[in-house]
Structure formats: C-alpha cells, structure tokens
Chains A and B, each alone.
Chain A
Amino acid sequence: MLALLAVMALAYHGGRKRAITSAGGAGRISTLHSLPGYYGFYAALWAGIPALLLLGLWLGIQDHVVTGLVKSALPAQTLAGLSDSELGLLLNDVKNLASGSIVGGTVTPAIQAAADHFAHLQRLANWAMWLLVLAAAVSGMALAWGRTTPTMRARNRVESIVMGAMFLCSSIAILTTLGIILSVVFESLQFFEKIAPGEFFLGTLWSPQTAMRADQVAAAGAFGAVPLFTGTLLISFIAMAVAVPIGLMAAIYLSEYAPRHVRSVAKPLLEVLAGIPTVVYGFFAALTLAPVIRAIGESLGLQVASESALAAGLVMGIMIIPFVSSLSDDVINAVPQAMRDGSYALGATQSETIRRVVIPAALPGIVGGVLLAVSRAIGETMIVVMAAGLSANLTANPLASVTTVTVQIVTLLTGDQEFDSAKTLAAFALGLTLFLVTLVLNVIALHIVRKYREQYE
C-alpha cells in the first residue's frame, strides 16, 4: 500500500517536472495548457487508479481461486462421501490451520498437507498480486508521462476524473439503499420459501428454535410474528404517549412564552436528551426505572413483570421528547407572525391564539414530526433489548413483558449462527418488515414536512 502511494508521489513529481521541461524550463510554463501540478496529478491518477482497480479485483477473487486449487489438491479419499457443508467445514479447518489458529476437528496428515499447500499458495498469490499491482502503477505512470506535452489538456482531464469521483460519492447513498434492500430481500425470500408469508404475518405463536436433530419434537419452531408486532406497537404507543404531550407543550412554551434567556438555556439542555446514547437509556430503564415501577406496582397490588413494557416505553418516550419538541418548534416558528397578530387583534388571549390559530396552522408539520418520531420508536433497539423481555406475549397490558421486532432481530443474530437456518433468516424477514414500515412512515412524514414548509415560504 505504501509502495503504491510512493509510486503515485513519484508519478506526481515526475509528471510535474516533465511538464516544465517540455514547456522549456520554469520560465516558460505559460506555454503549457494547464498548471504543471495538473500534469503531476494526471500522472499520479494514472498510476493509482488502474492499480487500485486491479488490487480490488484480485482481492475479490484470490480466495476463491486459492480455495479451489486447494480443494482439487486434496486427496480423493478425504473428500469421498462428504456433503457440501462438511466440505466447507473441512476447508475452514484447513484455512484456520494455515493461519495458525485453533482447529475444531482432528488434524489428519492430509489436512495438514492441505493447510501447508494453502499457506504456500496464499503467499505466492500475495507476492504475485503486489508485483502485478506495482507493475500496473508503474506502467500507468509511464503512459501518463509519455503523454505529457504542452498542449495536453491535463487540467480538464484531472477535473473530469474528480467530477466522476464526486458523482460516485453521491451515488453511495443509492448504493446503500440498494444494498439494504437486496441484502434483506434475498434472505427474506429464502425465509419465505421455508415459512409461508401468511404464517409469518398472521401467526400468533413465536418460538424460533431450530432443532438439533431433524426428528425432534417441534423441530420447525413457530414463526408467527403477530406478537412481535403488537409488542412493538405497545411500547411505541407508550413512548408516544409520553413524548408527544411533553414534547409538544415544551415546544409551544419555548417558542411562544419563554423569555429569550430561558429558551437559550432550556432548548439545548432538552436536546441533550437526544444526544445521549441509547445504550445509556437502556441501562437506566433496566436498572433504575424497572425496579421502581415494579415496587410501585407491587405496593398497589399489581402483578408487574420485571421486564415490563412500561419501563421500556417510558424511557423511550423520554428519549423521543427532544425529537418531537425540536421538530414542532421548527414548524411553530414557521407560522407567520401575521396570523398571530390577527388573532390578538380580535382579542384572543395568547393561549387561545396558540390553540385556535397556531396549532391548526402548524398541524401538518407537527403530524409529520410525530410520524418521524414513531418511526424512531419502532426502530429503536438498545432500550428494548436491555429493558423489554424476550417472551413473545400477545397482550396489551403495559405491565406484562412483551418483545419487539428489533429485540428478536438482535437475539436471532447474536451468538452462534448458521446462515441458512430458518432462525437466522427470520431475522432478515423481520428486518425487511421493519425497513418497509419505517420507510413508508419516513416518506410520508418527510413529504408532509416539506410540503408544509413550502406553504409558508
């Protein structure tokens, strides 16, 4: 890598020098089309880009090729009677052995030989790769140098490359979305091949265990996601019941009533709540609030689960307060002063103005903000992972323990996993659902908010 950078630096210097000499010395650089530095950049880019592309390509296929070679070199009797997954395990052993880490199975001489072979091939491939890459870099540099003449439009060429790079940067957003969709959709399709979508979306029993043996009782597990959806909704509902009134009233007070110095202190302090990592909220919910709620509930003679939906929902609501309040604050401030003045002129008090004029005018924006907050609540993970339970109960009782979509994704995907069991695939199906729901909410909310802003601009 450093060598590549060195070649690029060399190319820059060489390119610059050549440009100056081709113009006939430092005094005559005005005869060049571009500044000498651009010729240098041109050469450096020619040295770097093809070499990097080659490097990426090579790294992408090296593992495949080397593994294939090792596999074909394995003695036939070791391979005989192995299924695909066993073969995969064997090759994994070989690789682990070659890299010197601990191996699960027993090491037979054949595997040891294969591992040595593997290590040897890999060393060879690495050497070849670096040689080729450097060769590509040097030849790119030579090519660029050869092209350096006073009339070459070096600046334009460099600039078009930079423009292309910037365009690629901006396309990353689309690639990311595409990546999310593809990764989630493919795994979900596999999942829905095993479990019917109807069962997943309408089933009311969730117990995703995979069997150790195929003939085990309840081997398939149950993948009815309805309890997860209701659990998510319950916790989100509690959160919104906390966040919307407090957030909205706080926004109204801060934008309409509070003196300037109160506002300048209280608003940033409230926004501190948005900056606190969710894992901290989770800790607070699980270790401080949940025992308090339990104690209060028991003193009232209520049955409270130690991982109640209420604790998670309340804390999530606290987290969302600044989200609601700052979005509402924005839209309330965007309501033109003339509307308030008109209301005052008719003799309305300030609160009447706010309730009858400002809020109705700001309502679309507020609704958009609340929708964004709902999407936040649905997708929130750490609080519920730490404070809500794992048992999938179909209940609307806030004192019971419920589980959510995000909790299940985390539990299904942490720990040991094999990548084609229904258990791990179910996590992707849940992820797909989550992504789609939040996407729809976000699109609607962003649309409403934007439309609203345009209305008063």
Chain B
Amino acid sequence: MRTATQPPAPRRTIDIVNASLKRRYARERRFRFMGAAAVALGLLFVAILFADITLKGYTAFQQTYIEVPVYFDPATIDPAGSRDPQALAAADYLAVVKASMRRLFPDVTERSQLRELYALVSAGAPQQLQSMALRHPGVIGTTRDVWLIAAGDVDMLVKGHLDRALPEADRRIKDSSILLLDRLAADGRIEKRFNTGFFTNGTSREPELAGIAGALAGTFYTLVLTLLFSFPLGVGAALYLQEFAPKNRWTDLIEVNINNLAAVPSIVFGLLGLAVFINFFGVPRSTPLVGALVLGLMTLPVIIIASRAALQSVPPSIREAALGVGASPLQTQFHHVLPLAMPGIMTGAIIGMARALGESAPLLMIGMIAFIVDVPQGFTDSATVLPVQIYLWADSPERGFVERTSAAILVLLGFLVLMNLAAVLLRRRFERRW
C-alpha cells in the first residue's frame, strides 16, 4: 500500500482506503468518461459521414437549365419537308442549338467566344431538341422557349461549387463565360429544377447527363436472381442442418465451412466467380446472372445462420404435437415449423440482401464495371450495379461527378435504410415469445 506520504499516526485500514478514495474515484470518472467519449466518437463518425455525403450530394437532385428560344429551322431539321421520323432523328440538332445560342447573344461573334457560348449548354442539348421534334413534329418551323440542360461546369458554378473568386487560370470556367451567364441570370433564363434525368438516364461521360437508371436496373436484376439462388438453398440447408442432420464428421465439416465462408473476404468470392463461373462454366461476363451467382454464394451463409436461429426458436412442443397426430417429419417441418420460423428467416434474408446490395468488390472481378450507357433489359445483358457505379463515378475527375456520386450514395443508403427498416418491422410485427 502506498502509505509512505501518509501521516504516521493512525494506521487503520479504513484510513488507507479513505486516503486513496479520491484518486480512485477520479480514476473511475476518467474511465467512465473515456467510455462515453468512445461512444460519442463513434456516433460522431456516423454523423460526419452522413452529413458529408448529404452536403455533397443533395444538390445533385437539382439540375441547372438555361432557357433558350429555339427556332426549329426546317432548313436544317427537315429540308425535304417530309416529317419522316428517320430523317428527323438524323438531323443536325447541334447546328440548331448553336444557331439559337447565337441569336440569344447577337453581340458575340469572335470564334473563341462563340465556342464558349456553345459550351454553356450540355452536349445532351441536341438530343433534347431531337426528342422534342420527334414527339411533336409540329414544333418544326416555330420558335419555342426551351429549357436546355446546362453544361456540367455551368451547373457547378450556379450551385456555388466553383469559386468565382479564384483567378481565372485556376478555374474551369472563364470570366467571359461567367459574364454571359450573369446576363442570362439577369434575364431569368437560368433556373434550377428537379433532376429527373438522374433517375431516368443511364451513365454518361458528361456529369450533367449521367443518371443511375442503368445501375438501378442492373441492381434489381442481380438482387432478384441472388434471392432466387440463395433463399431456397439457404432455407433448405438450414432445415437439414438444424432438424435432420445426424451429428457426424460431415455435418461438423459443413458447419465449420459455413462459419468460415461468412468471414472469407468478399474479393475471394470474386476470384471464384472469375475462375469457376466465367472461365470454367462459360457464364457470360458482366451480366447480372454471374453477379447473382457470386453474391448468392456470399449471402448463403448469412441466410443459413439466420434461418437456423429462427428454426431453433420454434419450441419443440410444436414439433411433438405435429408428430403426435401422425405427421411425417418432413410434414412437421414444412407445415408447422417452417411457417412459424418464416418471419425470422425473412428478416435474415432481407439483411443478407442488404449486404449483397452494398457489395462491390467481387463484382469488379467479374467485369461488372463496363461502361454501359443503355439500361439493361434482362438477366444476361451487360450491366453494372449501384455500388460499382458509385466506384466508377468516384474515379471520374469532373467536379460534377462528386455530387452525382454522393447523390447515388444517398439513393443506395436510402434503399439500405428501407430494407433494414423492413427487417426491423417484420421482426416487431411477427416476433413471438413462446
């Protein structure tokens, strides 16, 4: 005992204890504070992560448009005057856009200035006009005020992501362009609107045209197949292992394997998919089919473990009652135990699906990183999924992709929250205490 500094007079134990109490309590408080700080720090990380992504991403749900009076010049669009859809589709709408921009700013004549003027609207603007002309051929020959998608850099400037105060050389957008934009803004020709293109377009090299529709469709096809593979297999395996399997070396081996597979790095599953499914069985690369095979194998242990827990929680009396009235063991399981365990199994399946939804590393291996503009239409089309799309966009240098990426992350997190909420609700609603 550290009593050397104590006055030597009374040396009862209670005094020794009392003397050290202050220090011990201080220590107690420190320890407690450290614990609270650790929890607070963890929660702070959650908050920072969400705040950062949200702040970066929420602007992507809006898109800057520029109102331009467009003269649909019949001489350019439809010189023959036939209104033949094929001719209309092939016409040079870029020229129409350029002519309209020139008319808007008649004072801009110099070549380099003109180029800047044209660059204010997106490379997708001609397509906008094309679809207008195709849908309503009546617009040809008339002048309409059209809200054209602004170019990515313009969009960034309007949203305040590009700093006007920077010297011109460090900025992606020139002073003269900003001057033009300010004139447009003064005329009320610049507006931010809800960005529907983000949800309906495939990906693109231009940030202002890039959307997540392709990735969402790919994710949908992949997850549907993943569920179809892993759910029946997982439930079957869980039923067998939990209810029927004899206790022997083989089932022990299976159990060890399942626990291990749950902890194998996901990228190893990608190697498996590449070597076995693609090179050996010849499943087409980049497709939701092969992605789902890999993700299905990854989800399987999750579903098996959850299903076994759910089966275990069904009380033995149910089984005994069913067996007692003459049901066969399988009838007992399928008619009585399985329905009662279903909510728990579904919860596990949803959580497994949520994991599969966020997974991207193994999909990189099996070629789901192709640049695919078209929205995939089936299980064997080349596709990409949302997390991989996020990865690809995060690699793009354009400033505009930062907010797109964050917005895609927000959508992904939204889906994850929904799925986890569904799992929680399912558990609350159907959980039974026996």
Contact = CB atoms under 8 A, between A and B. Distances in A.
Contact of B49 (A172, A276, A431): A276
A120 B52 CA distance: 58
Nearest to A174: B257
Nearest to A428: B271
A155 B327 CA distance: 11
B233 interface: yes
A428 B395 CA distance: 25
A308 interface: no
Contacts of B361: 278, 381-382, 385, 406, 410
Contacts of A446: 259-260, 263
Contacts of B266: 379, 381
Given A174-B253, A179-B272, A288 B52 contact: yes
Given A277-B360, A431-B271, A169 B330 contact: no
A269 interface: yes
Contacts of A406: 265, 267, 361
A413 interface: yes
A66 interface: no
B16 to A, nearest CB: 11
B279 interface: yes
Interface stretch (A47-55, A222-230, A296-304, A347-355): A347-355
Contact of A250 (B38, B237, B263, B357): B38
B41 A172 contact: no
Contacts of A143: none
A177 interface: yes
Contacts of A166: 236-237, 239-240, 244
B270 to A, nearest CB: 8
A251 B387 CA distance: 30
Interface in B215-262: 232-234, 236-237, 239-241, 244-245, 251, 253-254, 256-261
B27 interface: yes
Interface string A214-254: 00000000000000000000000000000001111110111
Interface string B341-370: 000000000000010011111001101010
Nearest to A35: B331
B295 interface: no
A347 B14 CA distance: 11
B34 interface: yes
Interface string B17-40: 100000011011011101111110
Contact of B264 (A281, A414, A438): A438
A98 interface: no
A180 interface: yes
A127 interface: no
B416 A275 contact: yes
Contact of B300 (A63, A176, A245, A258): A176
A286 B28 contact: no
A165 B236 contact: yes
Interface stretch (B139-147, B158-166, B405-413): B405-413
Interface residues of B, number: 89
Contacts of A282: 391, 394
Interface in A406-428: 406, 409-410, 413-414, 419, 427-428
Nearest to B235: A169
A226 B93 CA distance: 57
Contact of B365 (A275, A410, A434): A410
B412 A280 contact: yes
A355 B31 CA distance: 10
A410 B392 CA distance: 13
A432 to B, nearest CB: 9
B365 A183 contact: no
B132 interface: no
A435 interface: yes
A381 to B, nearest CB: 4
A413 B365 contact: yes
Interface string B87-100: 00000000000000
Interface in A263-295: 266, 269-270, 272-273, 275-284, 286-288
A317 to B, nearest CB: 10
Contact of B240 (A167, A258, A435): A167
B310 interface: no
Interface in A300-356: 318, 321-322, 325, 347, 349-352, 354-355
B46 A176 contact: no
Nearest to A166: B240
Contact of B52 (A174, A182, A284, A286): A284
Given A172-B233, A173-B237, A352 B24 contact: yes
A349 B28 contact: yes
A249 B39 CA distance: 8
B200 interface: no
B23 to A, nearest CB: 11
A177 B43 contact: no
Contact of B263 (A163, A187, A279, A372): A372
B265 A380 contact: yes
B34 A249 contact: yes
Contacts of B41: 246, 250
Contacts of A86: none
Nearest to B405: A283
A162 B232 CA distance: 12
Considering residues B17, B270, B395, which has the most beta carbons from chain A within 10 angstroms of its beta carbon? B270
Nearest to B257: A173
Contacts of A136: none
Interface string A358-370: 0000000000000
A378 to B, nearest CB: 7
A184 B271 contact: yes
B261 A184 contact: no
Contacts of B258: 173
Nearest to B389: A279
B416 A270 contact: no
Q: Which of B28, B49, B237, B412 has the most CB of A within 10 A?
A: B49
Interface in A150-194: 155, 159, 162-163, 165-174, 176-177, 179-180, 182-184, 186-187
Q: Which of A176, A380, A419 has the most CB of B within 10 A?
A: A176
A321 B45 contact: yes
Contact of A325 (B42, B259, B269, B367): B42
Contacts of B321: none
Contact of A170 (B245, B260, B264, B274): B245
The 5 closest A-B pairs by CB, nearest first: A379-B265, A253-B35, A277-B358, A183-B275, A169-B236
24 contacts: A159-B330, A167-B240, A169-B232, A171-B254, A176-B261, A176-B300, A179-B276, A180-B264, A183-B275, A183-B276, A249-B35, A249-B38, A278-B360, A279-B387, A325-B42, A349-B27, A351-B31, A352-B24, A385-B361, A410-B364, A434-B268, A438-B268, A439-B264, A443-B260
Interface of B: 17, 24-25, 27-28, 30-32, 34-39, 41-43, 45-46, 49, 52-53, 56, 232-234, 236-237, 239-241, 244-245, 251, 253-254, 256-261, 263-272, 274-276, 279-282, 297, 300-301, 304, 328, 330, 354, 357-361, 364-365, 367, 369, 387-388, 390-391, 394-395, 402, 405-406, 409, 412-413, 416, 420
Given A253-B36, A275-B416, A351-B28, 13 more contacts: A172-B237, A176-B272, A177-B260, A277-B360, A280-B390, A349-B27, A376-B265, A381-B266, A385-B361, A410-B364, A413-B271, A438-B263, A442-B260
